[in-house]
Amino acid sequence: MQMADTPYQFPDPSGHFGPYGGVFVAETLMPALTELREAYAACQADAAFVAEFEHELKHYVGRPSPIYHARRWSTLLGGAQIYLKREDLNHTGAHKINNCIGQAMVARRMGKPRVIAETGAGQHGVATATVAARYGMECVVYMGAEDVKRQAANVYRMKLLGATVVPVESGSRTLKDALNEAMRDWVTNVADTFYIIGTVAGPHPYPMMVRDFQTVIGKECLVQMPEMAGRQPDYVLACVGGGSNAMGIFHPYIGMPGVKLVGVEAAGEGLETGRHSASLTAGRAGVLHGNRTYLLQDEDGQIIETHSISAGLDYPGVGPEHAWLKDTALADYVGITDAEALQAFHDLCRLEGIIPALESAHALAYAAKLAPTLPADKILLVNLSGRGDKDMHTVAERSGLQF
Amino acid sequence: MSRIQTVFQHLKADSRKALIPFITAGFPAPEMTLPLMRALVDGGADIIELGVPFSDPMADGPTIQRASETALAQGMSLRKVLDIVRSFRSENTDTPVVLMGYANPIEAMGVDTFAAAAQAAGVDGVLVVDYPPEECVNFARAAKAADLDPIFLLAPTSTEQRFTDVAAVGSGYIYYVSLKGVTGSAKIDIDEVARRIPRIREAVGMPVGVGFGIRDAQSAQRVGAVADAVVIGSRIIEEIELSPRGEEAARVAAFMREIRAALDAIPKTGVNS
């Protein structure tokens, strides 16, 4: 267990968060990961790299993103005050861009002219295609054939940005299969290709590197919350699929006295139905996609198909650092169903004039459950990780509408 | 001495090269695996690599992924693979069987439980694709305690340091992945393989098998001239896919005989293994 007075320093040098994380890949990729580890360490130590990253975040992404006090919604819920970290206002509409810029800068420094990515709903694919255009890199995005059909607008967006979108026909034809295919591309083209992973999962150093690029979210909150609310929040809430927006906002708050961290997973149609994506709540430890973490798997260790109304949470694993935070009780993890997320989605639209991403709506829905149980002087900080324009079709369909 | 070491010792005495075919357990159907293993032996296999299907085979190409999906859809599992090996072992006590697969099914069973069950079933070696040496201290210990040879991969991208790391935990033989890519890829650079193998063999002190991209008698012969063993996988799966139902075993045996003949035709002078 983590001692209260010990600084939190994970992963260890070999990329482990306790028993989680690590480098579970075929030998063909080991040298590439060693090269990446060394290149990333050099970037971290280089003041010019850090300064350029900050410059890009400010002038290209539009950071810092504001914090907004959702007064009407808080009053209506009748309890704690809800503050929203507005990652939805970033360029490309979500937190994903923070990480893509960082990794593209590492790729450029390593002399790799080609970047590849996997994507589920298309948000990470769009962000990758965006930075590839910005830095003049060739870009190939792998996307499950099922998702290509469901997310036609994002597929077109990536093509407009100059990327090649490859539909993946294997397996369940969704995010995890796109990830498998991207890994295969990387193994084959490792000399000139950089794999931009979109979340805090995969083999070391990805979970650490993606987290580091996303911690800008939490670091801004540390400064903004005292300005906005006079103090740090009592709770920090974020949705967790792979878990990058959650790691980004949690990290500076880990172990801070009086601050509770809560990750919200997709309980889909309900945990009891088996149709969900709640790896931490309902999964077991195992090895997939290069790391040991909590996984949704059957008795034989085969990965099972997951479900969530939000494609960004529809993944059978989760970042290994979340597995560690759960086991050490440094963070709590809860589930929110499709229906609950939809309710929060509509509430935020109508009461605050903000259309949230369905992923972020899971964190909002938990805030809506928690706020009424707390006195009005308590503060909840919710990471509003993305905007909901991409979800128009899904929400309209649920309401029986067609465009 | 392990069954795998015995095989390589006999082959060395005869100046012959090992032929190591791979098939996915449960493909094209669970009841076909045992007859296919017999056919591989009839066709001249020295060691059989039996693939344990996994839902997310990241290091495999489309051919083996398809075979894995077909096998899983028919209920194949690690336990059932061990049952097949047990049946095979009851009729064949000479041909080593190496299980090749991914870490998660083994971790789901439990590393120690698996090692004991594999030993009891008559498994000789285990190659876990996503267990590099640095992540499998527990597994290698459990495997060795159960007299299983942990087999490791090396790749064209592997450094001298990797040779040492692999030699420290591995035994039986080293599987050299002959190209950058996934199983079943078309291109193999045999000159590059020829340059690398002598140094690897010296560094690891074990026989070196070469696989990924060997598709016919000619490429098998050229690889066999420099390596101690030739591994063929995707090409055999394709042979099974192309075969009329019921003729799979006969076709696989015929294909194997071609490869065997090519390997046995390699001149025996100047071979340093």
The pTM for the full model equals 0.95
- CA A166, A167, A168, A174 torsion: positive or negative? positive
Average pLDDT score over residue span B261-273: 76
| pLDDT tens track for B40-77 | 999 999 999 999 999 999 888 889 999 999 999 999 99
Kindly state whether residue A130 falls inside one of the protein's structural domains: yes
* Tokens describing residue B190: 């045999």
Claim to verify: residue A230 and residue A316 sit in the same structural domain: yes
Average pLDDT score over residue span B196-207: 95
As annotated, the active-site residues of A are 96, 118, 385
Q: Can you give the pLDDT at residue B269?
A: 55
CATH number, position A121: 3.40.50.1100
Claim to verify: residue A222 and residue A146 sit in the same structural domain: no
Kindly list the residues from chain B whose CB atom is less than 8 angstroms away from the CB atom of residue A186.
Answer: none
Kindly state whether residue A3 falls inside one of the protein's structural domains: no
Distance from C-alpha of B193 to C-alpha of B271, rounded to nearest angstrom = 15
CB distance A60 to A131 below 8 Å: no
A145 in B contact zone (CB under 8 Å): no
Contact B62 A170 (CB under 8 A): yes
Bridge partners, A114 (sequence order): A138, A193
Q: What is the least distance, in Å, from the CA of B182 to any CA of chain A?
A: 6
Contact A31 B69 (CB under 8 A): no
Cα distances (Å, whole numbers) of residue A56 to A67, A109, A200, A224, B15: 20, 15, 21, 20, 63
Kindly state whether residue A46 falls inside one of the protein's structural domains: yes
Of A171, A206, A241, which residue constitutes the final position of a domain? Answer: A206
Claim to verify: residue A139 and residue A252 sit in the same structural domain: no
Kindly state whether residue A4 falls inside one of the protein's structural domains: no
- CA A290, A292, A295, A299 torsion: positive or negative? positive
Average pLDDT score over residue span A326-347: 98
Claim to verify: residue A368 and residue A388 sit in the same structural domain: yes
- Report the 10 Å Cβ neighbour count for A359: 34
Claim to verify: residue A246 and residue A328 sit in the same structural domain: yes
In terms of C-beta density within 10 A (0-12 exposed, 13-18 middle, 19 or more buried), how is residue A31 classed? middle
Residue of B nearest to A295 (CA): B104
Q: What angle do CA A47, A204, A127 make, to 5 degrees?
A: 65
Contact B130 A290 (CB under 8 A): yes
Q: What is the least distance, in Å, from the CA of B105 to any CA of chain A?
A: 4
* Tokens describing residue A35: 């090269």
CB distance A265 to A238 below 8 Å: no
Claim to verify: residue A231 and residue A310 sit in the same structural domain: yes
Site from B78, B131, B135 to mutate, A interface, most A CB atoms within 10 angstroms: B135
- Asked whether residue A2 carries a pLDDT value surpassing 50, the answer given is no
Claim to verify: residue A150 and residue A276 sit in the same structural domain: no
Asked if residue B267 has a cis previous peptide bond (ω within 30° of 0), the answer is no
| pLDDT tens track for B203-248 | 999 999 998 888 899 999 999 999 999 999 999 999 999 999 999 9
Claim to verify: residue A107 and residue A232 sit in the same structural domain: no
Claim to verify: residue A75 and residue A105 sit in the same structural domain: no
In this structure, what are the phi and psi dihedrals at residue A297, rounded to the nearest 5 degrees?
-145, 160
Domain extent, residue A321, equals 64-93+215-399
Give how many domains chain A has, as a whole number: 2
Distance from C-alpha of A347 to C-alpha of A363, rounded to nearest angstrom = 13
DSSP state letter for A90: S
Kindly list the residues from chain A whose CB atom is less than 8 angstroms away from the CB atom of residue B81.
Answer: none
Burial A136-146, CB ≥16 within 10 A → b, else e: ebebbbbbbbb
Q: What is the CATH number of domain B3-265?
A: 3.20.20.70
Kindly state whether residue A198 falls inside one of the protein's structural domains: yes
Of A206, A223, A250, which residue constitutes the final position of a domain? Answer: A206
- Residues 6 or more apart in contact with residue B69 via CB below 8 angstroms: A170, A171, B53
Contact A284 B108 (CB under 8 A): yes
Cα distances (Å, whole numbers) of residue A375 to A83, A149, A325, B73: 15, 46, 27, 53
Q: What is the least distance, in Å, from the CA of B56 to any CA of chain A?
A: 7
The residue annotated as part of the active site, out of B14, B42, B49, B216, is B49
Kindly state whether residue A11 falls inside one of the protein's structural domains: no
Kindly state whether residue A183 falls inside one of the protein's structural domains: yes
A228 in B contact zone (CB under 8 Å): no
Kindly list the residues from chain A whose CB atom is less than 8 angstroms away from the CB atom of residue B130.
Answer: 24-26, 287, 290
Residue with tokens 């055999």: B236
Kindly state whether residue A335 falls inside one of the protein's structural domains: yes
Q: Report chain B's terminal Cα–Cα distance, integer Å.
A: 19
| pLDDT tens track for B5-49 | 999 999 999 999 999 999 999 999 999 999 999 999 999 999 999
Average pLDDT score over residue span A328-341: 98
Claim to verify: residue A84 and residue A229 sit in the same structural domain: yes
Domain spans in chain B, listed from the N-terminal domain onward: 3-265
Q: What is the least distance, in Å, from the CA of B144 to any CA of chain A?
A: 20
Q: What is the least distance, in Å, from the CA of A171 to any CA of chain B?
A: 7
* Tokens describing residue B207: 């026989």
Claim to verify: residue A131 and residue A263 sit in the same structural domain: no
Distance from C-alpha of A317 to C-alpha of A15, rounded to nearest angstrom = 17
Q: Can you give the pLDDT at residue A149?
A: 85
Site from B55, B63, B65, B70 to mutate, A interface, most A CB atoms within 10 angstroms: B55
Question: B60 catalytic, yes or no?
Answer: yes
Claim to verify: residue A175 and residue A196 sit in the same structural domain: yes
Kindly list the residues from chain B whose CB atom is less than 8 angstroms away from the CB atom of residue A14.
Answer: 134
A339 in B contact zone (CB under 8 Å): no
Contact B157 A176 (CB under 8 A): no
Q: Can you give the pLDDT at residue B184?
A: 64
Q: How confident is the model at residue A402 (pLDDT cuts 50, 70, 90)?
A: confident
Of A179, A206, A233, which residue constitutes the final position of a domain? Answer: A206
- Asked whether residue A326 carries a pLDDT value surpassing 90, the answer given is yes
Q: Can you give the pLDDT at residue B89?
A: 98
